[in-house]
Amino acid sequence: MKRINAVRWIFLLCSVEAAEAQTTAGLSRADYRMQVELDDSKHRIKGTQEIAFQSGAADTLHELFFHLYFNAFQPGTAMAERTAALPDPDGRMKGRFESMSASEQGWNKVRSLKVNGVAQRTETRETTLKVYLDKPIPPGGRVRIDTEFEAQVPVQIRRSGRDNNESIDYTCTQWYPKLAQYDRHGWKTLPYVNREFFGIFGNFDVRIRARSAFVLAGTGVLVNACALPAALAQAYCPEAKGPKAEWAEWHFSAENVHDFAWAADRDYRISATQSGRGTDLYFARGPRSEAASWKALQDYTVRFFNTMDTLIGGYPYPRFTVIQGGDGGMEYPMCTMVLGAAKPDQIEGFVGLMVHEAAHNWFYGIIATDEQRYPWMDEGFTSYAEAVVMEGLFPTGDPNPHRSAVHSYRKAALAGLVEPLSTPADFYTRNKSYGMGAYVMGELFLWQLEGMVGTPVFRAGLREFYRKYAFTHPEPSDLVRILERRSGMQLQWYSDLWTGTTQTIDHGIVEVRAVGRDQIRIVLERKGSIPMPLELVLVFEDGTRRSLKVPLDWCFEAAPGSAQPLPFWNGYAPRYECTVRADFNALDEVQLDPLEYTADLHLENNRWVKP
Ligand SMILES: [Zn+2]
């Protein structure tokens, strides 16, 4: 029997909850064993896969699909065509596909594919391979899939590839034939256009043979570090003393992840530290990196993990590796690829990149929502956590860490550059509006909820969401229901309006006047079509401030803990009036939503100053 350590207990607890959710979520499982070899003379990876697949589908499967992402890096592909057609293409990709020579292109070819030992008919359309099953897989059915495949690593266009601007030899992400997800919405078979990912949880056991010139870093734990030559692996295992040889086999293992990424470089330098909860944190920096920046990054990464473990919930894996992938930043399970050439005076940006990409592990990696369907649940939730963590690491003192998101949304909404959050990731008509939706409006989706239910209830709800739905691919309503139960408020209407439409929020103060000797009449108006519960702050001459909550009848209840709320605002009514007991003579000003809990389009009517 295997020893069960604390980390495994967390896995077991999570799997019990995962199993409970299975009846509704339909969780499949795919355990991979892969054995591959990197031929650096031809830039090719050749190997085999053994996949134990258990279907969680409610339907009988008559086919399977695989992703062959490397095939995107050729002229004329969906990724190339989309890049050419977008009005605001990614400058790093624009115009680079057409001139790719055969040796620069990427491809992934499945040479043979067997299910339960029987060869299957397959058909490949660009980045998607279809398997016509000779025997259907019933709900809950298990099969063994064996493949032989060969892939050519493309020159770096985005994310994956070789020889990028920071001289990293190989960034091998989205590099192997990957079984596609089938869920309540069906198969995920769209061609890869450099957007988002969605995968099946499983255990990965990956052996990579590479010439001993290369040091590797990747997803999971390096199982055989101590058996590798000291020159390669001493930072992974101080006792490493494997025999010197021309080739080395790197054996990685990761449990309960939905992808596996790795990178190889002749000059990787590895270092390590530990988070407060004992997660081993590894760092792989390449040739064009600053030692001082990476040393500082280590300390920030420890503080980042300590914050996230409390803010969202405990990181369940034993290890995390920050890898200089050399092209932007991109999240993978148990590791991230980042740009790594930051100078010490660029540390805040460098830390920000690590924080964002590593925070993805809690959302993309562990909660694992469908990023194609709900890119904002991954990028937006990650951006929310990033803003909170960065305020802790580099304090500005602003009680609203999401203010810059509110401001950039306002600018985009006024410029008409907003598309509905319900747009699937691949189908936004502009990169700008995708960024605005997935990152900014996704972050504001949470921030506005926090404003409605209050920070303590919201944060507790977010932690419950993480605990309950880790490893289960939840839907937006799963979080909304938790917050409804915890706050007693009705909130689905807000989720529907904010994620399903481009309707906007705009409230203003119309009038403030004295009524008798000790009362003040305040009149508000709603100009945007989305009503929200609001905060009104009365500021008096002596500097005292009094906060009042304007509750909304669509929520049915006022925010928990809001003392003496004002009358409810009828969500369909364009105007609202209330009378507050206060001395008008002592009043200086009235502020509507001063903390910007709502993405109010026009701030100029949110403040009344006594003339
Ligand atoms: Zn991101």
- Exposed (0-12), middle (13-18) or buried (19+): which is 137, by Cβ within 10 Å? buried
- In angstroms, what is the span from residue 156 Cα to ligand 1's centroid? 19
| Residue 467 burial by Cβ neighbours in a 10 Å radius (0-12, 13-18, 19+) | middle
Question: Residues 481, 524: one domain?
Answer: no
Residue 357 in contact with residue 330, Cβ under 8 Å? Answer: yes
Distance of CA 558 to the CA centre of its chain: 31
Instruction: Let me know if residue 345 belongs to a domain.
Output: no
Per the structure, the complete domain to which residue 601 belongs is given by 507-609
Measured CA angle at 223 (ends 19, 244), to 5 deg: 160
- Which pLDDT value is given to residue 197? 84
Q: What is the pLDDT of residues 57-92, one digit of tens each?
A: 999 999 999 999 999 999 999 999 999 999 998 888
Buried b (16+ CB within 10 A) or exposed e, 10-36: bbeebbebbeebeeebbbbbbbbebbb
Same domain? For 491 and 539 the reply is: no
pLDDT tops 90 at residue 151: yes
* Predicted confidence band of residue 379 (pLDDT cuts 50, 70, 90): very high
Cα–Cα distance measured from residue 179 to residue 25, given in angstroms and rounded to the nearest whole number? 18
Single residue among 449, 465, 500 that ends a domain in this structure: 500
- Rounded Cα distance, 585 and 567, in Å: 24
| Same-domain status, 104 and 190 | yes
Rounded Cα gap, residues 304 and 393, in angstroms: 8
| Ligand 1 centroid to residue 215 C-alpha, Å | 26
Residue 336 dihedral angles phi and psi, to the nearest 5°: -145, 150
193 shares a domain with 46: yes
Distance from the CA of 67 to the center of ligand 1, in angstroms?
21
CB neighbour burial string for 270-304, b if at least 16 within 10 angstroms, e if fewer: bbeeebeeebebbbbbbbebbeebbebbbebbbbb
For residue 482, tell me if it sits in a domain: yes
Question: Is there a single domain that holds both residue 459 and residue 583?
Answer: no
Residue 515: CATH number of its domain = 2.60.40
Q: Tell me, yes or no, whether 482 and 577 share the same domain.
A: no
- Please count the helices (runs of H) and the strands (runs of E) in the chain: 12, 30
Distance 177 CA to ligand 1 centre (A): 23
| Mean pLDDT score across all residues of the chain | 94
CA of 438 to the centre of ligand 1 (A): 9
Q: How many domains does the chain have?
A: 3
For ligand 1, the distance from its centroid to the CA atom of residue 536, given in whole angstroms, is: 34
- Tell me, yes or no, whether 549 lies in a domain: yes
If asked whether residues 465 and 601 sit together in one domain, one would say no
Report helix, strand or coil for 497: helix
CA–centroid distance, residue 64 to ligand 1 (Å): 29
Q: Yes or no: say if 151 and 70 are a contact pair by the CB < 8 Å rule.
A: yes
37-48 pLDDT, tens digit per residue, is: 999 999 999 999
Boundary of a domain, candidates 185, 200, 215 = 200
Q: Do residue 400 and residue 480 come from a single domain?
A: yes
Q: How far is the CA of 364 from the centre of ligand 1 (A)?
A: 9
Do 125 and 156 fall into the same domain? yes
3-state secondary structure (DSSP) of residue 6: helix
How much distance in Å is there from the Cα of 192 to the middle of ligand 1? Answer: 17
Q: Do 533 and 452 lie in a common domain?
A: no
Any alpha helices (H) in 470-578, and if so which ranges?
Answer: 476-487, 492-500
Summarize the confidence of residues 416-433 as an average pLDDT. 95
Contacts of 287 (CB under 8 A, 6+ apart): 166, 167, 265, 266, 267
CA of 363 to the centre of ligand 1 (A): 10
Q: Are residues 111 and 167 located together in one domain of the fold? A: yes
| Structural domain ending residue among the three candidates 177, 200, 223 | 200
Q: What is the pLDDT of residues 298-324, one digit of tens each?
A: 999 999 999 999 999 999 999 999 999
pLDDT at residue 439 tops 80: yes
Q: Is residue 310 part of a domain?
A: no
Residues 64 and 177 in one domain: yes
**Per the domain annotation, does 290 fall within a domain?**
no
Judged against a pLDDT cut of 70, whether residue 556 lies above it is answered with yes
pLDDT tens digits for range 333-367: 999 999 999 999 999 999 999 999 999 999 999 99
pTM of the model: 0.94
